Amino acid sequence: MDATPAISALSERLQEAQHLQTIEGNPLTEAELAMFAMFERENWPHERRRAYLLAQFRGAASAAE
């Protein structure tokens, strides 16, 4: 089974998301780009990515309080 089409589709979705963020005036930062590249490079499953993002969000929210 070749995983290349799945990786290509994911990369295309990431590129599209980056483009939309830029159009909306909220481009991804270098740190965000590096994070998403890490997700792809290390082949993190969707659930792990989501858990990581939620933990980052919760950490930032509690630091702001």
**Contact of 28 with 18, CB cutoff 8 Å:** yes
| pLDDT computed for residue 58 by the predictor | 93
Q: Which residue has the tokens 């979705």?
A: 13
Question: Could you report the per-residue pLDDT of 1-60, keeping only the tens digit for each?
Answer: 445 555 566 688 888 989 999 999 999 999 998 898 899 889 999 999 999 999 999 988
| pLDDT computed for residue 24 by the predictor | 96
Domain total for the chain? Answer: 1
Containing structural domain, residue 56: 4-64
DSSP assignment letter at 37: H
